[in-house]
């Protein structure tokens, strides 16, 4: 059976600067050895090779983030060389017919911003939007899609509630303050970006889970909808990252029991429920991340096929899904878990010069992207 995807569907992969680039000094690298990504995948120097890999998968889009700490090493001081670096990267994407989707904030921060009180500073949104305005002005001739903030819910929960990521805060009260400042930063960025061009498409990428169990509605409200509700008049699309089902207090739906290398349950049907639930925002939807840690690439081929099958069903059911970005193009620095979890369609051989080795699943993904269809 052939399942066709809509015309002009965007097929891509996603990365984030700190996880792949290498050589970045920011609040994470400053937080001690465990948090220092070091040279990572040296994507900063090897991005052309990596974009060639994306091209070889017949992708027509690519999502990546710009590292604020590189661009603005001191408040109000912009580094022209770094601006040129990302400009060149964007040009290399365009040369390969890969539509750039830029994330402006994927969790890592300039040290000076943190020293000023990070997202708890009452001027945080002023600093952030200053950076946003600079970037969008610089690349406005090349980029249309802007993702202001990656997974504000995951970020606030690790960095301000559980306290296992910089700045290691554990305070429910502070979470509320940070949420307020992130929402404010997004809304101001939205206005700024639209002032630069009304045609630009602006959104966030939220992490939505497929919740099960008795606390389903409560958790959906706080985890899946808090940010989308807060910014709902300030988004041109809904960006969603889907990874897992979460059962809170008794499982009502049974997941199929398969798990990734990180013990995350694999539940492809979950993406269908998550997508259906996003219809309420009446905006185009982009799946800005979806993937799994699977070093042996044993489960990834089926993972991709099964998730896309459910995505297709959601589209048939009326959800306006316009793109899919697999996480990730290459193996990378998985935050506090280090380099062990392998999320890449392409393996990085860390012991052998960071050699790029495409996994078999990349061929399967390439075939789907080429045909704009699943053959199941
Ligand atoms: C994040 C990525 C991360 C991935 C896998 C998402 O929550 O945006 O940075 O690597 O999940 O954990």
Whether the Cβ atoms of residue 308 and residue 368 lie closer than 8 Å to each other: yes
Write down the pLDDT at residue 368. Answer: 98
Write down the pLDDT at residue 249. Answer: 61
Please give the structure tokens belonging to residue 193.
Answer: 């970006």
**How far apart (Å, rounded) are the C-alpha atoms in residues 360 and 344?**
11
> What is the three-class DSSP state of 70?
helix
Write down the pLDDT at residue 282. Answer: 98
Nearest to 323 by CA among 334, 308, 338, 313: 308
Residue 111 φ/ψ region, left for φ over 0, alpha for ψ in the -120 to 50 degree band, beta for the rest: alpha
Please give the structure tokens belonging to residue 109.
Answer: 């921060």
Q: Say if residue 316 is exposed, middle or buried (CB neighbours under 10 Å; 0-12, 13-18, 19+).
A: exposed
**How far apart (Å, rounded) are the C-alpha atoms in residues 120 and 188?**
17
**How far apart (Å, rounded) are the C-alpha atoms in residues 191 and 149?**
15
**How far apart (Å, rounded) are the C-alpha atoms in residues 326 and 12?**
6
**Structure confidence by residue, pLDDT tens digits, 53-92:** 999 999 999 999 999 999 999 999 999 999 999 999 999 9
Rounded to 5 degrees, what are φ and ψ at 40?
50, -120
Q: Within 10 A of 276 (CB to CB), how many other CB atoms are there? A: 14
| Mean pLDDT value of segment 191-207 | 98
Cα of 284 vs centre of ligand 1, distance in Å, is 22
Residue 200: CA count within 13 A, CB half-sphere: 27
**Mean pLDDT of all residues in the chain?**
97
> What is the three-class DSSP state of 345?
coil
Residue 215 — very low, low, confident or very high, per pLDDT cuts 50/70/90? Answer: confident
Q: Are strands 321-327 and 346-349 parallel, antiparallel or unpaired?
A: unpaired
Share of the chain above pLDDT 70, in %: 98
**Structure confidence by residue, pLDDT tens digits, 271-310:** 999 999 999 999 999 999 999 999 999 999 999 999 999 9
Radius of gyration of the chain (CA): 19
Query: Is 79 touching ligand 1 by the criterion CB < 6 Å?
Result: no
**Structure confidence by residue, pLDDT tens digits, 312-334:** 999 999 999 999 999 999 999 99
Query: Is 290 touching ligand 1 by the criterion CB < 6 Å?
Result: no
Nearest to 181 by CA among 226, 121, 238: 121
* Host H or E run for residue 9: none
Whether the Cβ atoms of residue 101 and residue 12 lie closer than 8 Å to each other: yes
Q: What is the pTM of this model?
A: 0.98
**How far apart (Å, rounded) are the C-alpha atoms in residues 71 and 343?**
27
Cα torsion 33, 70, 53, 10: sign:
positive
Best residue among 14, 155, 244, 289 to mutate for probing ligand 1's pocket (most ligand atoms within 8 Å of CB) is 289
End-to-end CA distance of the chain: 5
Share of the chain above pLDDT 90, in %: 94
Residue 214 — very low, low, confident or very high, per pLDDT cuts 50/70/90? Answer: confident
Please give the structure tokens belonging to residue 116.
Answer: 């000023």
The neighbouring-strand residues paired with 374 are: 3
Query: Is 334 touching ligand 1 by the criterion CB < 6 Å?
Result: yes
**Is the predicted pLDDT of residue 12 greater than 70, yes or no?**
yes
Nearest to 199 by CA among 140, 148, 139: 140
Which residue's CA is the closest to the ligand 1 atom numbered 3? 334
**How far apart (Å, rounded) are the C-alpha atoms in residues 212 and 111?**
39
**Structure confidence by residue, pLDDT tens digits, 16-42:** 999 999 999 999 999 999 999 999 999
Best residue among 286, 334, 342 to mutate for probing ligand 1's pocket (most ligand atoms within 8 Å of CB) is 334
Atom of ligand 1 nearest to the CA of 334: 10
Cα of 327 vs centre of ligand 1, distance in Å, is 8
**Structure confidence by residue, pLDDT tens digits, 238-276:** 999 999 988 776 555 555 679 999 999 999 999 999 999
């Amino acid at each position: 059976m052939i399942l066709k995807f809509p015309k002009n569907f965007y097929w891509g992969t996603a990365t984030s600067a700190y996880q792949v680039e290498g050589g970045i000094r920011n609040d994470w690298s400053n937080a001690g050895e465990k948090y220092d990504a070091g040279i990572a995948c040296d994507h900063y120097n090897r991005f052309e090779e990596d974009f060639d890999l994306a091209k070889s998968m017949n992708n027509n889009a690519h999502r990546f983030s710009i590292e604020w700490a590189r661009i603005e090493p001191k408040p109000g001081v912009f580094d022209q060389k770094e601006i040129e670096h990302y400009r060149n990267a964007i040009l290399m994407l365009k040369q390969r017919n890969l539509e750039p989707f830029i994330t402006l904030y994927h969790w890592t921060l300039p040290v000076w911003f943190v020293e000023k009180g990070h997202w708890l500073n009452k001027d945080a949104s002023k600093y952030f939007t200053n950076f946003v305005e600079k970037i969008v002005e610089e690349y406005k001739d090349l980029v249309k899609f802007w993702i202001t903030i990656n997974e504000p819910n995951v970020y606030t929960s690790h960095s301000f509630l559980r306290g296992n990521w910089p700045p290691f805060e554990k305070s429910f009260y502070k979470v509320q303050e940070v949420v307020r400042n992130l929402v404010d930063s997004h809304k101001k960025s939205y206005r700024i970006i639209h002032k630069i061009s009304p045609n630009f498409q602006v959104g966030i990428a939220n992490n939505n889970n497929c919740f099960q169990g008795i606390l389903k509605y409560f958790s959906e409200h706080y985890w899946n909808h808090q940010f989308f509700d807060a910014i709902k008049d300030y988004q041109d699309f809904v960006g969603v990252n889907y990874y897992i089902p979460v059962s809170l207090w008794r499982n009502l739906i049974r997941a199929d029991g398969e798990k990734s290398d990180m013990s995350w349950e694999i539940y492809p049907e979950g993406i269908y429920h998550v997508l259906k639930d996003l219809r309420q925002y009446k905006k185009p939807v982009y799946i800005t991340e979806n993937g799994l840690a699977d070093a042996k690439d044993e489960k990834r081929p089926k993972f991709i096929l099964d998730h896309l099958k459910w995505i297709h069903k959601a589209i048939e059911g009326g959800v306006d899904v316009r793109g899919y970005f697999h996480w990730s193009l290459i193996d990378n620095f998985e935050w506090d878990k280090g380099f062990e979890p392998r999320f890449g369609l392409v393996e990085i051989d860390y012991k052998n010069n960071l050699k790029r080795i495409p996994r078999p699943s990349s061929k399967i993904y390439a075939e789907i992207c080429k045909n704009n269809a699943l053959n199941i």
